Amino acid sequence: MKRVRQFAWLFLLLVTVASLGAGLWAPADYAMQFREAPNSPPSHQHLLGTDELGRDRFSRVLYGTRVSLLMAPAAALLSTLLATLVGGVAGYLGGWWERVAMGATDLFLSMPWLFLLLAVRAMLPLNIAPITSVAVTFLLLGLLGWAASARVLCAGARGLRDSDFVLQARASGLRGVRLLAIHVMPNLKPVLAAQFLISIPVFIISEANLGILGLGVSEPLPSWGSLLRELESFTSLGFEAWKLVPLALLVLVVSGFQIILSRNEVYA
Amino acid sequence: MKRRPLALMLFLSLSLSAALGQSGGELKFCLHSDPKTFDPFLVADDASVSVRYLTGGVLIRVNRRTQQAEPEMATSWTVSRDGRSITFNLRDRVYYSDGTPFNAADVAYTVQRLMDPALHSPTGDSFRSGSGEVRTIIDSPTRITVTFPAPVAGLDKLFDQVAIVSARSANKDRAVLGPFYVADYKPDSYVLLKRNPNYWRRDAAGRQLPYLDTVRLSIQPNRDIEMMSFRRGEIDLINWLDSEYFDRLLAQSPQLAHDAGPGLDSEQMWFNQVPNAPIPGYKREWFRSTNFRRAVSDAINRADLSRVVYGGHAQPAAGPVSPANKFWFNSQLHAPAYDPAGALRLLQQEGFRLEGSSLRDRAGHTVEFSIITNAGNKARERMAAMVQQDLGKIGMNVHVVTLDFASLIERITESYNYESALLGTANTDLDPNAQMNLWLSSADNHQWNPRQKSPETAWEAEIDRLMKEQASSLDPARRKVCFDRVQQIVVEQQPFIYLVNKNVLSAVAASVANASPVVLRPQTYWNIETLSMGVQTASRH
């Protein structure tokens, strides 16, 4: 299992490095339309062929991976912070704080988040640059995706609050923020890390879902979501297997996170 | 020598049999949703229109190939000089599918129901040219005159949409004059049509039509599944294919793929010119400038749009009317040539200047705007991305925004909170009267600046005048002159920047004989009476 984890780390590292250096080894600009060669199969010039507008698919996969792989952890970080603020603090304080916070969390969980995202996305200004649309999309995902983690963190914090060592610390006169910082938060770290890692693939897939609906990252910037839209027409896949590369990459990256996560869960 | 006449007779008989078709069999194809109604007067959705076409007997039928009105239940007709009345001579000894005889009383009953204000018939709306009552005078069982309160332009062809229902049948739902009647309907699953045993039409050999025994319409909203069903031989035709599916089919089974040429529908973009729209004033000024709109039009490579987005199965659009509309298309108009240099010259005349790769207006504002289109429509999203790149070449910074349909409609019809839009127009009617709600400056669908109290520009005032003139004239030549001029003004002013006319693409199984797809709806089964099932093929891979 250790080797598998090492391999997963290595793979994720490779994918991250490859996408960060997209500008160095992408054979073409992601937006460049080779209009004489739309939908072309893999060739020396276009390693993964071209998309329906003649854009080099390999370059778009590299840039799209960068977008999804950088922004999803950022969104995961935001949602984990919010979850800590709401769930962790509620669990630590207990009483009506906890009841109110968990009530709000349940309300958030019961919301049809996809429609909420659609509605919020529709209200945004139209004249935003593609890079801003990326940031906004993942910001929305981060702001709306904290509720499930908050429940887990609340349970974790509640467990710590009632634990013997916290009771002893409290009996020794340690109170408030100091108790939270010295005894509670360090012990919540594994749960936080697990929630953070769980959220990354969730947000990657959420962005992909939005992309499939045509509501994710704006043209011409690629993301895994927009790349996966090519797979909408499943009758073509038997003939153009190279279109599956973004999907394969998504599956491998999400699996990589899951493998790494399993180790963190042991610690948690 | 004696064998030759025999062989010739055999050949002729085989040829005739192929042309005339074999009786029997079931034709299967898909509807993309359940029919909302089987009442021919309340039909509004595509699925219901299909069922009405297959079951309804009409007085006059517009031949989908020639686009000319032809006798159907009426053997002849005369429109009065004032355009208010139409007199029909009806076919004698015709019976509804339930055996009830057809006569002028049925036409009178149909017209009264059609024009009943309480019914709110969408079909009836086409005939409402003025307030007042519609009168019917039955001269004999085979002759009737219908008089409308005001002239109705293109009156005879409007009857193509009016299925004549029985006044006396006890079972009105099953009593039809068309080739089939609805025998069974299972929501979300299928509509089964059976052959009308009393259908009046016969083939050249005197055999009663239709040839088919049944038509099974499967309800299937998913086009991928529809395509797979066709390839597996589970359905016999696909009425409308997108270019991707079409090319795939063409590569595998070219004999099954039919490209009927440019259809009536068009794809276009426009700029928001609404005076109180929540957009910056300087942008509104750009959008209201004819030279700005013409420059944008000239900078778009329509040939590339047709070739890349539609795989060559579309034509660069010349103007608001497609060449598929044989009578009304203004043949003097041609699609604008791709001319980015010319576009820049036009922009310079308006005070725009190119600074580096960025275009700026007279006041120094960077030319930047968004195009909204509906999310999920891949062709439009691709077109928008190509327009974005084309306009980028003349320094315009364009943002493509895809919105869910409800948000998009809200923006273009209520809040006017958008800068430009890329959408399409589905034209089902050949006559320009059907486009009054688009061209009149007071109309709701005058998208670039709707509901004007009075025309805000001279050219819009002229369009208003011409559209009203053609609507009130009964002389087809005069109407054509007026509508040709409307098309010319639209091309000069570019309130709508027409991009492409999509080709009508369809798939017909080899087992279906006598199919001859056309550009008008219903493209593949417009001649349903003469379609027949020949050699069955199990698979079409």
Closest to B345 measured CA to CA, from B334, B353, B356: B353
Cβ contacts below 8 Å, chain A against chain B, sum to 77
ipTM of the complex: 0.78
CB contact under 8 A, A52 and B308: yes
Structure confidence at residue B220 (pLDDT): 94
Distance from CA of A267 to the nearest CA of B (A): 44
Closest to B274 measured CA to CA, from B402, B373, B421, B412: B412
Q: pLDDT per residue over A44-91, tens digit each?
A: 999 999 998 999 999 999 999 998 888 888 999 999 999 999 998 898
Distance from CA of B438 to the nearest CA of A (A): 26
The span from the CA of A113 to the CA of A186, in Å, is: 32
Structure confidence at residue A186 (pLDDT): 87
Per-residue CA distances from B305 to B292, B309, B327 (Å): 21, 5, 26
CB contact under 8 A, A127 and B400: no
Closest chain A CA to residue B383: A53
Closest chain A CA to residue B225: A235
Q: pLDDT per residue over B195-247, tens digit each?
A: 999 999 999 999 999 999 999 999 999 888 999 999 999 999 999 898 988 99
The span from the CA of B239 to the CA of B531, in Å, is: 14
Kindly tell me if the per-residue pLDDT of B11 is higher than 60. Answer: no
Which member of A35, A127, A235 has the closest CB to residue B370? A127
How do the residues of chain A divide into helix, strand and coil, expressed in percent and rounded to 5?
75, 0, 25
Go through chain B and tell me how many residues it has: 541
The span from the CA of B232 to the CA of B238, in Å, is: 13
Kindly tell me if the per-residue pLDDT of A213 is higher than 90. Answer: no
- Tell me which H or E stretch contains A259: helix A245-267
CB contact under 8 A, B399 and A54: no
Kindly tell me if the per-residue pLDDT of B469 is higher than 80. Answer: yes
- Flag the least confident range among A206-215, B172-181, B304-313: A206-215
Question: Chain B, 383-442: which have a CB under 8 Å from a chain A CB?
Answer: 384-386, 388-389, 399-404, 407, 417-419
Task: Mention every residue, 6+ apart, whose C-beta is less than 8 A from residue A10.
Answer: none
The span from the CA of A142 to the CA of A72, in Å, is: 9
Domains of chain A by start residue, with CATH: 2-7+56-267 (1.10.3720.10)
Kindly tell me if the per-residue pLDDT of B335 is higher than 60. Answer: yes
Closest chain B CA to residue A230: B378
Measured between beta carbons, the chain B residues lying within 8 angstroms of A218 are 399-401
Closest chain B CA to residue A233: B224
**Which of B272, B401, B407 would you mutate first to test chain A, the one with the most A CBs within 10 A?**
B401
CB contact under 8 A, B381 and A130: no
Distance from CA of B367 to the nearest CA of A (A): 12
Do B266-502 and B57-177 have the same topology in CATH? Answer: no
Which member of B248, B372, B388 has the closest CB to residue A126? B372
CB contact under 8 A, B403 and A33: no
- Superfamily (CATH) of domain B266-502: Dipeptide-binding Protein; Domain 3 (3.10.105.10)
Structure confidence at residue B3 (pLDDT): 46
CB contact under 8 A, A54 and B402: no
The span from the CA of A47 to the CA of A42, in Å, is: 5
CB contact under 8 A, A35 and B403: no
Distance from CA of B419 to the nearest CA of A (A): 9
Distance from CA of B371 to the nearest CA of A (A): 8
Per the prediction, chain A carries an average pLDDT of: 85
pTM of the full structure: 0.82
B372 near B418, Cβ under 8 Å?
yes
Q: Tell me the pLDDT band of A263, cut-offs 50, 70 and 90.
A: low
Kindly tell me if the per-residue pLDDT of B296 is higher than 50. Answer: yes
Measured between beta carbons, the chain A residues lying within 8 angstroms of B224 are 233-235
The span from the CA of B11 to the CA of B21, in Å, is: 15
Measured between beta carbons, the chain A residues lying within 8 angstroms of B376 are 213-214
Q: Tell me the pLDDT band of A233, cut-offs 50, 70 and 90.
A: low
Structure confidence at residue B450 (pLDDT): 94
**Own/partner pairs for B60-64, CB < 8 Å, 24+ apart?**
B60/B156, B60/B157, B60/B159, B60/B160, B61/B160, B62/B157, B62/B160, B62/B430, B62/B520, B64/B518, B64/B520, B64/B521, B64/B522, B64/B523, B64/B526, B64/B527
Residue whose entry in the numeric block shows the structure tokens 């025998």: B183
Q: Positive or negative, the Cα torsion across B25, B256, A38, A231?
A: positive
Q: Pairing between strand B397-403 and B368-374?
A: parallel
Question: Which tokens hold the place of B41?
Answer: 């007067």
The span from the CA of B501 to the CA of B306, in Å, is: 8
Measured between beta carbons, the chain A residues lying within 8 angstroms of B372 are 126
Structure confidence at residue A3 (pLDDT): 87
Mean pLDDT for A203-229 is: 79
Mean pLDDT for B9-38 is: 72
Multiple choice CATH, B57-177, 3.40.50.1110, 3.20.20.140, 3.90.76.10, 3.50.50.60: 3.90.76.10
CB contact under 8 A, A213 and B376: yes
Closest to A184 measured CA to CA, from A95, A266, A92: A92
Each domain of chain B, given as residue ranges in start order, spans 57-177, 266-502
Closest chain B CA to residue A36: B308
Structure confidence at residue A214 (pLDDT): 62
Kindly tell me if the per-residue pLDDT of A236 is higher than 70. Answer: no
CB contact under 8 A, A127 and B378: no
Q: Tell whether B80 is within 8 A of chain A (Cβ).
A: no
The span from the CA of B38 to the CA of B182, in Å, is: 9
> B375 or B31, which is more confident?
B31
The percentage of chain B sitting over the pLDDT mark of 70, rounded to a whole number, equals 95
Closest to B320 measured CA to CA, from B465, B160, B448, B457: B448
Which member of A35, A38, A219 has the closest CB to residue B400? A219
Instruction: Answer whether the bond into residue B522 is a cis peptide, omega within 30°.
Output: yes
Distance from CA of A75 to the nearest CA of B (A): 22
Q: Tell whether B285 is within 8 A of chain A (Cβ).
A: no
CB contact under 8 A, B372 and A214: no
